[in-house]
Structure 1
Amino acid sequence: MPISDHRRPHSVGKQWRLCPFWHSGTPSSSSSSSPTQNLQPQSAKSYQNGVVSNSQSSSKASLVAKTILPAKRRLRLDPSNNLYFPYEPGKQVKSAVRIKNQSSSHVAFKFQTTAPKSCFMRPPGGILAPGESIIATVFKFVEQPDKNEKQPDKRCKVKFKIMSLKVKEGTDFVPEMFDEQKDEVIIERILRVIFLNAERPTPALQKLKHQLAEAEVELELRKKPQVDTSPKVVEKGLVIDEWKERRERYLARQKIEAVDLM
């Protein structure tokens, strides 16, 4: 028992030296104070430091998770990873990608490319309603291969980036919105260019031709003026009923024919 009583204060003093941040920090505290008196400010300070440490660690963890974990995609692309072009050196060739809004809100999309001088997109951007889809056409000029190159590489260094931004219904698309709200922009995909042999029929080439045909149809439909199917308003509060108008014209013709017979 005497040995135990002699070692306890020594261990307490050693603990204070290893953890100096537990001190209350008041200059008036004396080293001759009892361990019980010193433990009270230690506990309070330790609790405060614990709260601050937990909040800081949680904020850091959320920041790391936001950086590492991929954001939920708003758009679904087909094809999803590559853009296929027929390999025709010295010509401008076309590719196509279907973009569908798979979210529950309106989404703006925008294209970017590493070769803006030789590539362009139609349309370069737009806004899709929930569930709406569009086929975008991508144009690219194919360079002539080098003379020493026996067989051209099917891959290309050119890349295309598709970005998305959540917008409100009725918002007009302007490219500047992606710069003004860059914190809310998501990089959906980075598409790589792959060349296809234009003379060899493959499933990828057949699918590309089918998508290009659909894109042309959609473009023609967008060019046509929309027909107004709403009821015609002649005066304020007066709406013409087409069936009623036809009936009145029919009855008028019947009266004229009856007068002529008399």
Structure 2
Amino acid sequence: MNTGTLVSFDPLELKFPFELNKQLHCSVHLTNETDQHVAFKVKTTNTKKYISRPNVAVILPRSTCAIIVTMQAQKEAPLNMQCQDKFLIQSVIANQEAILKGVTAEMFTKESGNVVEECKLKAVYIPSTPLTSTIAQGVQEVLPFNALEKYMRNLSGIEALRQHFMHFWVKIGQNNQKG
């Protein structure tokens, strides 16, 4: 996990279990470490290959947001399974206008006087295993709604969901200990 002044990121690498002709998903969690609203924006070096949702948003104070990154189906395996693709996540304190009307590109320009934090993440291909495919097939047969099916088609998606719920339960436990 990497902690900046505004947000922390987990993980710092986007791991895709590479399979030909399959759309792949992984997630990164952004945690707002402040008592203010924080806006973020996701950029990539390869916009035709990846989609991130949400790619801009405002995170509530002391809250976590999961970003799902989708890699489009690839027709060819890269040489030596190496990936040169990178992601840049910019974050900035959100003003009242951003909270009410939405995030704008101007918020992330340093010329505007805003302090813009940046974190670079790289994409990594990991070998896909038969177990990954078996789990993904089982998930597809059990879950009735399409959005969650797409999210969980591979092991990294399942791992992200597990981490999300673990983070949720840790937060609940911390809140219960305070009271």
TM-score grouping bracket, smaller chain normalisation: 0.5 to 0.7
Which structure has the highest strand share of the two? 2
Q: Deviations over 1:215-244 (max 9, x none)?
A: 8xxxxxxxxxxxxxxxxxxxxxxxxxxxxx
2:124 to 185, 194, 201: 194
SS at match of 1:184: coil
**1:135 corresponds to which residue?**
66
Cα offset for 1:77?
1.0
**1:97 corresponds to which residue?**
28
Q: Name the CA shift for 1:125/1:182 in 2 (closer, same or farther; >3 Å).
A: farther
Q: Name the CA shift for 1:206/1:94 in 2 (closer, same or farther; >3 Å).
A: closer
Pick the structure with greater CA Rg.
1
CA distance in 2, matches of 1:182, 1:212: 37
Residues matched between the structures, number:
136
Cα offset for 1:184?
2.1
So what's the TM-score if we normalise by structure 1?
Answer: 0.46
Matched, 1:156 2:83: yes
**2:104 corresponds to which residue?**
175
Cα offset for 1:78?
1.1
What is the 5 A alignment of 1:112-131?
112-131=43-62
So what's the TM-score if we normalise by structure 2?
Answer: 0.65
Cα offset for 1:168?
2.8
Amino acid of the residue matched to residue 90 of structure 2? M
Amino acid of the residue matched to residue 159 of structure 1? K
SS at match of 1:210: helix
Query: Once the two structures are aligned, what percentage of the paired residues are identical?
Result: 26
Cα offset for 1:90?
2.5
Matched, 1:144 2:71: no
What is the 5 A alignment of 1:59-74?
72-74=4-6
Relative CO higher for 1 or 2, CA cutoff 8 Å, sep ≥ 6? Answer: 2
Check the 8 A contact 2:36/2:61 in 1, yes or no: yes
Check the 8 A contact 1:74/1:107 in 2, yes or no: yes
**2:10 corresponds to which residue?**
78
Amino acid of the residue matched to residue 126 of structure 2? L
Cα offset for 1:214?
8.0
Cα offset for 1:107?
0.4
Which structure has the highest helix share of the two? 1
Any stretches of 5+ residues in structure 2 without a counterpart? 133-153, 165-179
1:211 to 148, 155, 160: 160
CA distance in 2, matches of 1:97, 1:119: 14
